Amino acid sequence: MNRTTLSLIAGATALAAVTGFAAVSAPDPGSAEQRTGAAATLPVERTGLLCPRPSTSDLAETTYTSFAPVTEGADGKGTAVLRAAAQQSAPDDDGTSEDGKDGENGAADEKDEGDEKGEKDAAKDDTAGKPVLQLQEPGKPVTAEADGADAPALVGTADGRFASGWTAQQTTEVAAGTGRGLQGVACSAADTQFWFPGASTDGSRTDYIHLTNPDDSAAVVDIELYGKDGELETTVGEGITVKPRSAEPVLLSTLTAEKQTDVTVHVVVRSGRVGAAVQALDDETGGDWLPASADPSGRLVLPGIPKDATAVRLVAFTPGDADVDLKVRLASPSGLITPAGNETLHVKGGMTAAFDLGDLTRGEAGSLVLTAPDGSVPVVAAVRVLRGEGGKQESAFIPAARPVETRATALDNTAEGTTLSVTAPEGDAEIKVTASAGTKGGTPQTKTYSIKSGTTQDIEAPVPAGLKGSYALTVETRAGGPVYASRTLASTEGGVPFFTVQPLPDDRGMVAVPDASENLSVLQR
């Protein structure tokens, strides 16, 4: 038998094998002509959150809270765990020698100090491996407390029945000193780009950009600063390395020699991904967290300015070269109105603009609606809000927010001092608000509300029956909209109105999954 005959036999055998597999795996007759159905909306199966280091103050008292709403169709199993980041960067732990250069005798140093370093790393890993918070069941929040400056940044993941809508929050009270007051921030997902209008490098402010890396490889980050005249010259803002599974706070005033009251911070991740948030602390008016603004857009909504705000300062920035005249409207309880004297605000391309709007809300709930002509020029924005008078003022920040498309949750609520603010700037909307069980007991309660077009309402949110501890408020859009929301926590300490405001972005707990069917006809093409 020659080689040609062997090749023909081998080819026929291979073809039969392929044909046989296709026959065994063939779909039902006519399935190739069947059209797939519409995409199904299903719960996500895995998600991650990052919480920045809460405070550097020894007087800080921090409460971490974690929660996942009950989601129909979610997997019956799963976990949701927040752990301390495995590495906490310290000023003297940057991988360099004392003269600021990488040591040339690294091998010798590693040999001499290996035992000591190994013991420290082992102790650090043991601490990082223990869960700070772990959910036991959906629908019931859990909390953990930490005192002083040693509370760590947290990195967490949730899967299965906990993944859809998983939310975490940290709330810190600082009794005195720079940034005294109530500081709250919702833990966020990692990303590759962030905008923070409203930061500062002024001498009275101590602003940090907190970068948290959840991954096992290093992230490389650039930080750009934009002031009133354009981009500020920075010295060490490029190529900042954030070690794997670590948190890195960067003091903004160390990046530039220019002192400016209003600065826009742009964080760009060259490689990897990070979580980012600005902690803005003032010597006189307290401080709070400044979350990232919604992506640059020609239409922005800043929801939930407290009705007793004594001063509102708007900071806006457009990333392009084109100038823009922003149309300013206030969504009040009675509808959209134009603030006298602030009908339009001029923002120059590439420059940060700030505007004092005074006591804008005048005793009523309100949200700012900013619009560029034809939506042609994208803008980012945030407001700094003051409550109180004289030497007893406290500050908080509200960035432009994303709408609650399906569902959003606010944590660490109490029976007193919680305000839920909802606005529907474009059309009538109906929402459902659910108060979860309390951390230490209580029965969930649900109410439905109608929000008229163009209005903002501070709604009387439900409270769990027999509440013990704190609870979660979950907002669901039932009809109409779009809907934007924020939650304010408030208390009074020594005559100072402590408060913090968190916008409620959609939890992105549901995802559209296309309906697909088997079609082997593609093998014949």
Q: Region 115-132: what's the mean pLDDT?
A: 50
Q: What's the whole-model pTM score? A: 0.84
CB count within 10 Å of CB 349 equals 14
Q: What are the backbone dihedrals phi and psi of residue 217, each rounded to the nearest 5 degrees, phi first?
A: -125, 155
Q: Measured between alpha carbons, how far is residue 169 from residues 120, 145, 311, 436 in Å? A: 29, 12, 26, 15
The predicted pLDDT at position 7 comes to 45
Q: How far apart are CA 471 and CA 142, in angstroms?
A: 9
Residue 167: strand pairing partners: 67
Residue 107, Cβ neighbours under 10 Å: how many? 9
The residue type at 486 = S
Most confident of 39-53, 199-213, 509-523: 199-213
pLDDT at 100: 34
Burial of 178 from C-beta contacts in 10 A (0-12 / 13-18 / 19+):
middle
Mean of all residue pLDDT scores within the chain: 86
pLDDT tens profile 219-231: 999 999 999 999 9
Q: Which residue has the higher pLDDT, 510 or 161?
A: 161
- How confident is residue 521, by pLDDT bands cut at 50, 70 and 90? low
Please give the pLDDT value at position 37.
Answer: 53
Chain position carrying tokens 């005793």: 363
Task: List beta partners, residue 456.
Answer: 423
Q: What is the largest CA-CA distance in the chain?
A: 104
Q: With bands split at pLDDT 50, 70 and 90, how would you rate the model's confidence at 523?
A: low
Residue 20, pLDDT score? 36
Six-digit token string for 473 = 């408020």
| Least confident span in 50-64, 101-115, 458-472 | 101-115
pLDDT in tens, 386-426: 999 988 999 999 999 999 999 999 999 999 999 999 999 99
Q: Which helix (H) or strand (E) holds 169?
A: strand 167-174
Residues 6+ apart with CB under 8 A from 504: 401, 404, 408, 409, 410, 475, 485, 486, 487
More confident residue, 418 or 16: 418
pLDDT at residue 90 tops 90: no
Q: Give the residues across from 274 on adjacent strands.
A: 191
Degrees, nearest 5: CA angle 169-171-176: 160
Question: Band of the pLDDT at 15, cuts 50, 70, 90?
Answer: very low
Of 38-47, 186-195, 359-368, the one with minimum mean pLDDT is 38-47
The Cα–Cα gap between 410 and 473 comes to 5
pLDDT at 26: 41
106 three-state secondary structure: helix
pLDDT at 17: 37
Give the type of residue at 423. T
Query: Could you give the CA distance from residue 417 to residue 423 in angstroms, rounded to a whole number?
Result: 20
Higher pLDDT, residue 376 or 259: 259
How many Å apart are CA 336 and CA 329, to the nearest integer?
Answer: 6
Backbone angles phi, psi at 120, to 5 degrees: -65, -45
Sheet containing 154-159: order of strands: 46-51, 154-159, 80-84, 131-134
First to last CA, the chain: 35
Torsional sign, CA 38, 44, 50, 54: positive
DSSP-assigned letter for residue 14:
H
pLDDT at 125 over 80: no
CA atoms of 38 and 43, how far apart (whole Å)? 16
Cα distance between residue 25 and residue 17, in whole Å = 12
- Strand ranges in 228-306 using DSSP code E only, listed in sequence order: 230-231, 240-242, 246-251, 263-271, 275-282, 286-290, 299-305
Does residue 493 register a pLDDT over 70?
yes
**Nearest 10 degrees: Cα torsion 97, 101, 102, 104:** -90
Residue 524: per-residue pLDDT:
64
pLDDT of residue 41: 83
Confidence of residue 94 (pLDDT cuts 50, 70, 90): very low
The SS3 assignment for 258 reads coil
Q: What is the CB-side half-sphere exposure of residue 384 using CA atoms within 13 A?
A: 27
- Token pair belonging to 199: 């930061």
b/e code 185-214 from CB counts within 10 Å (16+ = b) = bbbbebeeebbbbbbbbbeebbbbbbbbbb
Rounded to whole angstroms, how far apart are CA atoms 195 and 200?
A: 13
Q: Could you tell me the two tokens for 146?
A: 């930490």
> Greater confidence, 517 or 270?
270
Average pLDDT over residues 469-484: 97
| β 465-468/441-443 pair status | antiparallel
Residues 310-362: tens digit of each pLDDT: 999 999 999 989 999 999 999 999 999 999 888 999 999 999 999 999 989 98
- Under the banding of pLDDT at 50, 70 and 90, the label for residue 376 is confident
